[in-house]
Amino acid sequence: MESSREKVPSCMRPLPSVTDHCFHLTLTTDVGEVFSDSLHDLIKHAEAEACNHRYPARLASTREKSVLHHEVRATTLEGLDADEDPVDEIQIDEEQDGDENGMLEMFSMLQAFQSVKELDAVGGVPHEEERAIHGRPSDRRHAQFLHVDRTMLCRSDQCKTRLAELKAQEVSQEKHLKDLSALRKNQENTVRDLLKTYPVMIEDLSHRRAAQINESSELLEGNAQERQESRKRLIHLAKARADEILERQKLATDATALIKHYKALLLA
């Protein structure tokens, strides 16, 4: 048993110091600032260990990791004796799986810490929401609900503020009615003042116009017979003038025809 454990290569041995440090670090801003240097050292150490122990694919996809896992397992089993206990193989596999899982968890936590640090540097989301986003699905949903709640609260506050502003700018109908009534009273007062200023002129003008209209109507009613005779004379004169104009037009037409006939005789 001891000989089989001694034959296990160093790449199969776990890294307790790296994983322990990574599991005990918290992703808060204060602790991140304190342990930033140590985390960079751990990253460099883990990358060096992965390169030295033929595990560069631990940062790659899960498919490449499984292929390398089978290759290392085959080389390890070839170095073991044929009569070894299968329990040792199971322990070796468990140690290798624990090592790989620890390294993957370590790098995922380090990436989460780096992303949180970058978001804090550019003024990103709060630390609690960032940790929830990089955590479990339930935590991500909780973070989304928190973000939606905060957005709704901000919008409700904005709506309340806008409503308060509109209410402050609102003018009541009673004020409009008071303004209109005051304007109407001012106009009435202006008209009354005008009538008081020129009462004689307005009365004289109206009386003169009424007198002229009455005289014209009396003249028309009193001379109805003369008006009828005058209308008949005008009609007779207009008819005579129209007949005279027609006679002159006929004479002009006959003269034109006679001139044309005379020219034709001369040319013949």
Expressed in angstroms, the distance from the first to the final Cα of the chain is 161
The pair of three-digit structure tokens given for residue 240, joined into one six-digit string: 């005579």
Residue 54 backbone zone (phi > 0: left; psi -120 to 50: alpha; other: beta) = left
CA–CA gap between residue 266 and residue 258 (Å, rounded): 13
Percent of the chain whose predicted confidence (pLDDT) is above 70:
45
Angstrom distances, CA of residue 185 to CA of 30, 180, 190, 195, 236: 75, 9, 9, 15, 64
Give 266 or 109, the one with higher predicted confidence: 266
Is 161's pLDDT higher than 70?
Answer: yes
Q: Could you tell me which residues come within 8 angstroms of residue 114 by beta carbon, excluding any fewer than 6 positions away?
A: none
The pair of three-digit structure tokens given for residue 232, joined into one six-digit string: 């008949």
What does the pLDDT read at residue 237? 94
CB atoms within 10 A of CB 99: 22
Q: What is the mean pLDDT of residues 24-33?
A: 43
Angle between helices 224-267 and 199-222 (to 10 degrees): 70
Give 45 or 251, the one with higher predicted confidence: 251
Tell me which DSSP letter residue 56 carries.
G
What does the pLDDT read at residue 82? 43
Q: What is the mean pLDDT of residues 85-101?
A: 55
Least confident of 72-86, 188-202, 225-239: 72-86
Q: What is the mean pLDDT of residues 217-225?
A: 80
Lookup result for tokens 């109805």: 224
Is 60's pLDDT higher than 50?
Answer: no
Is 184's pLDDT higher than 90?
Answer: no
Query: Coil, strand or helix: which one is 86?
Result: helix
Residue 25 · residue 39 · CB < 8 Å? yes
Is 104's pLDDT higher than 60?
Answer: yes
> pTM value?
0.21
Percent of the chain whose predicted confidence (pLDDT) is above 90:
11
Is 6's pLDDT higher than 50?
Answer: no
Q: What is the mean pLDDT of residues 3-11?
A: 44
| DSSP H/E element including 78 | helix 62-79
Which own/partner contact pairs does 139-147 have at CB distance under 8 Å and 24+ positions apart?
Answer: none
Q: What is the pLDDT confidence band of residue 245, given thresholds at 50, 70 and 90?
A: very high
Least confident of 65-74, 166-175, 235-244, 247-256: 65-74
Query: Coil, strand or helix: which one is 242?
Result: helix
What does the pLDDT read at residue 70? 53
Is 125's pLDDT higher than 70?
Answer: no
Q: What is the pLDDT confidence band of residue 253, given thresholds at 50, 70 and 90?
A: very high
Is 257's pLDDT higher than 50?
Answer: yes
What does the pLDDT read at residue 1? 41
Q: What is the mean pLDDT of residues 62-68?
A: 50
Residue 69 · residue 96 · CB < 8 Å? yes
**What is the rounded average pLDDT for all residues in the chain?**
67
Every domain of the chain and the residues it spans? 2-125, 136-170, 184-267
What does the pLDDT read at residue 216? 85
